[in-house]
Structure formats: C-alpha cells, structure tokens
Structure 1
C-alpha cells in the first residue's frame, strides 16, 4: 500500500534526526547530542534530535516529513521503509567490533524459582510480564517468535498481567520488583555495565536469543543525492578520531558500516511468522 510523500527535502537548512525511545529522552539526548553537534558542523546544517514517546512516533514523524533521518531497530526500520519513505543506508558497529546483539528475558536476582524460560512458563499465570514496545525488535518481535511463538503460546494470554514499555522502564521495573519478568537486550545491558550501574547486580538473564543484526540508520528517500552523499560520508568516517571514539563509546558503538534494506530480510521473516500465527 502506497503513502503520500510529504515535503521536498532537496534543500534543507535543518535536518531532524529521529531517536527511538529505548530509554528516557533526557538520557538519549545526553548520549546523542555530541555526535549530532559534530554532524551539524560537518554538514553545515543544523541537526536537531526528534524524540517521541514510543517507536511509532518516530516512524510517523518520518512518514509526515518531520524526521529526515533516524536511528531505529530492525523492526521499526522495516515499518519506516514500508510506510514512511525510508531507506536503510548504514548500521552501527558495537564497541566490541560486532554487528549483532541479543534479546534477553530478565528477572530479579532474588527470584530463586525462575532460572529458565521453562520456569517462567510454569509460573506464568502468577507473573507480571514486561513486554517491549510493539515496534521493538529485541523487546517484542524476537521474543514473540523465539520464546512464545515456537512454543505456541501468547504472551498476552499466559501471564497474570502483561505490560508494554521501553527497555529502560522494563529493566527498572524488574530491578525494583515491580514486575516479575521482562524483555531486555544485550546492548542496553552492556551500557549499564559500562556505566557501573548498581542495579545490574539485582537482575539476572534467564534467556537470550540468537544474534540480531545491529541497529540500522534510515533516511527519507526524497533527500537530495548531494545531501545523502554528505550524510553517508559523515557516518562512514565518524569514529576516526579519539574524541569521536569516546562519543561513540557512550552509545556502546565503535563505528558505522554501510548497509541497505536487505538487512531487514530476517526481520521480515519473523514478522511473517508472527502474522501467520495470529490469524
């Protein structure tokens, strides 16, 4: 199904950069702003962060021309490509040099009776489950397939209560014993370890997924070829200096690599499975 394309992005004096809501906008802003400032200087265009309360808000922002470029997970990138004139052009490389991460299911460390997915299933009717944003790859789509789908179970039916929240909220809720189990991911876990968060000692991982492709960067297809070339050049060279490496380290990244919409093929296969099993 096609959608109208809003706005002519050939000439721009401001570039709006969408950032999905994996955690609070205050935390995201502090981590992202130094790189966006460098991008503004390099491109000679003001680059402004765009935040929304959920992933869908950034996708809709791109669809209606309020977001020109965005950091997404694979699931939200797929939605942006299909519904918001988006195109994948790069993906992040993590600070250990990998281009993959994992989805987690977590619970509180004091919970001695839940140490595996099987334990969680056995007690599900008495548990509160923190699911991810519906457009999150690691927080929603991957566990929907690998944890629930392959076991012919529905997360919305087997638990006493199921809530949807971003990664940070789910982690905090488990650490503070407000919910019993929740989705999370290795990238956010590594970030908490790097920040020496004391809360990491209160949480344990009871399941991890196969590797997921690292997060893509997506631009609107109607940006001018010249601007696209300048944007790609910025990201392909960013991280060459020690200062840039330090900025990327705060994002748990080391560099970026070129990518395309083909990166989304595994995510599309998972989405097809989910759709076919919900009918």
Structure 2
C-alpha cells in the first residue's frame, strides 16, 4: 500500500557530544490529524522540550493514513507514538508496544464522541432518515482502524441493525475527518463520520465550511488517545519519557508548555496510563465481532454458537492481558534530564 511518510529531525545538542547509548535518535510517530506536515509542526515545540529533557535527539514521523502508521509500528520503525485507542490495541497485542500515558483536555472531559454530520440543508435530520432509504445516500467514513470514523458508528449504528455500512449505501468513500467533512460541504457526500474533537479543529481552520455542517447522531463516550512505546526500549528510558509527559505543563513553566500543547489538538497534558485503558477498545471490537457473527449466514446453530464462544474466549483472554499492565508510578524518578 502506498502511503505518505514525513520525517523531521528535531534540533538537539550535537550527536558527537552524547554518550554512545544515547546518541541514537528516538523516533516519535504522530497520529494523522489534518495533513502529515501539519501534524509534525504541531508536535514540534513539545518534542523539542522532550529532546532537551532526555538529552537525546528525537525525530518525528507523521503519515497520511492509520494503516501507514500501523505498518510503521509493525516494522519497528517507530519507538513511541501518539495513537488512537484501537491502533494502540493492535500495537500492544501484535507489535511489542505498551501504553505510557493518555492525553487530557482543558475542558476536563475523559474522552470524545463519534458523530455523523450532514449539510445544514440536508433532508437527513436523524438516523431514521438514513436507514429509511437503503442504497440511496453517499457515505464518507474513516479508515477501518479509526475508532470514531469507522468502528464506533459501525458498532453502534450498523451492526446493531444487522447491517454493513459498506453495502448499505449507494456509495462509500474512505478518507480522513477533515476531507470527509469537506466532502459533505462540497456536495460530494450526503453524510460523513467525524468526532467532536476533530470538529473543533475543523471549525478553527474552516469556519465557513463548519457553519454548513449539522450533527445528526452522537455516540457514547470514547476514551482519549494514548502515547505508546516499544517494550524493548530500556525500562529507565520508557519511565523517563512517561515522567516527562505526565509532568509536562504542570511545573514552573506550565503556561508556556500548555501553549505548546494546545498547538496540537487542545491538549492540556497527559496522565499516567497502562494497557488497561485499552479495554474499552477491546470491548468495541468484541461487540462488533459478536453482532457480525449473529447476523451472518450459518449452516446450523451449532456453528454460530461455536463462533460466538470463540469470540467470547478471545475477548476474555485479551482483557486479562490488558489488565496485567496498569499505570506505573514514576515517583521514584527525579526531575533531572
């Protein structure tokens, strides 16, 4: 699959001045928000501070798709990354990653919501208008790894009705939240998935287009994105990264650091977190798989029952695995770089 990769080396002290074990740059992966270059520019000020605190060069990598970031994680080209919960779940269970911290927002919310948006003049006013016309509307959604752009709407709206969005609509296109919102405004799609956090960002960048959008459905709460790191990084290094994140915008330079965080996505900071924060996303996968199994065609009831039992057992095993890694306490570390 072709995907766009942007790489940016952040300024630090000269590599020749570093000890051999700290000379190698760390690579930070960025969840796509807007364009890849935009994401890199937003994260650069905070990563400069982290590079100084760790006394280690940090490169940042942003991609144009969730699948591109997932591929980079799988190929171990990224040391730590900012990712959505579903992408984190895949990285933790298959790619040797672990959760270090979870973002917090200035409004104090513990998460965000998936939404469906339409043009303000659309004849669609609620979900009944959508499901009342099979094969009629044009749908713009996120990638399969996007929690708010695909997984949550698919689970809460379509699978619960024994439907598949990819076959229900007259046309389905897959893109990022920004482009999907623009597709609705430009008349290229009748409805699109998005989320409350990205819509706030969209309103700042495209105020006139945002004014043309109307929300017709909102999901249950989705936990915020997380920072993950490779488990084969030295334990002390992972702890120092986590300590930096969870202390950032909370000390004597809080005001300046908070301003840098808010360049990213109205982030107010990070809280300690472990793999157990991903249980909510494991539950989403479980619900979607269960509902798809129930609505599938089976040769007999025993075959369906066996499939449901396997889904249940796999989910229970995954939850136990995630619970075994809870937030760590970094109090034993001092504040020295």
Q: TM-score, normalised by structure 1?
A: 0.91
CA distance, structure 1, for counterparts of residue 285 and residue 237 of structure 2: 32
Q: Is the 8 A contact 1:11 1:224 kept in 2?
A: no
CA distance, structure 2, for counterparts of residue 56 and residue 223 of structure 1: 23
CA separation of 1:39 and 1:210: change in aligned 2, threshold 3 A: same
Aligned equivalent of 1:271: 285
Q: Is the 8 A contact 1:170 1:183 kept in 2?
A: yes
1:59 aligns with 2:73: no
CA separation of 1:272 and 1:218: change in aligned 2, threshold 3 A: same
Gaps of 5+ in 2: 1-20, 294-337
- CA deviation after TM superposition for structure 1 residue 13, in Å: 2.0
Aligned equivalent of 2:261: 248
Q: Is the 8 A contact 1:60 1:84 kept in 2?
A: no
CA distance, structure 2, for counterparts of residue 85 and residue 171 of structure 1: 34
Aligned equivalent of 1:7: none
| SS of alignment partner, residue 192 of structure 2 | strand
Q: Is the 8 A contact 1:62 1:85 kept in 2?
A: no
Q: Is the 8 A contact 2:99 2:229 kept in 1?
A: yes
| Superimposed CA distance per residue, residues 233-271 of structure 1 (whole angstroms, 9 cap, x where no aligned partner) | 110111132111111122211111011111111211111
Structure whose alpha-carbon radius of gyration is higher = 2
CA distance, structure 2, for counterparts of residue 238 and residue 276 of structure 1: 41
CA distance, structure 2, for counterparts of residue 258 and residue 198 of structure 1: 38
Larger relative contact order (Cα-Cα within 8 Å, sequence gap ≥ 6): 1
- CA deviation after TM superposition for structure 1 residue 124, in Å: 4.1
Equivalent pairs, count = 269
Aligned equivalent of 1:163: 173
Aligned equivalent of 1:6: none
Q: Which moved more, 1:72-81 or 1:121-130?
A: 121-130
- CA deviation after TM superposition for structure 1 residue 180, in Å: 0.9
- CA deviation after TM superposition for structure 1 residue 192, in Å: 2.8
Aligned equivalent of 2:33: 22
CA distance, structure 1, for counterparts of residue 144 and residue 202 of structure 2: 23
1:215 aligns with 2:211: no
Gaps of 5+ in 1: 1-9
CA distance, structure 2, for counterparts of residue 92 and residue 270 of structure 1: 20
Q: Is the 8 A contact 1:106 1:184 kept in 2?
A: yes
CA separation of 1:192 and 1:131: change in aligned 2, threshold 3 A: closer
- CA deviation after TM superposition for structure 1 residue 203, in Å: 0.6
- CA deviation after TM superposition for structure 1 residue 196, in Å: 6.7
- CA deviation after TM superposition for structure 1 residue 101, in Å: 0.4
1:38 aligns with 2:49: yes
CA distance, structure 1, for counterparts of residue 78 and residue 170 of structure 2: 38
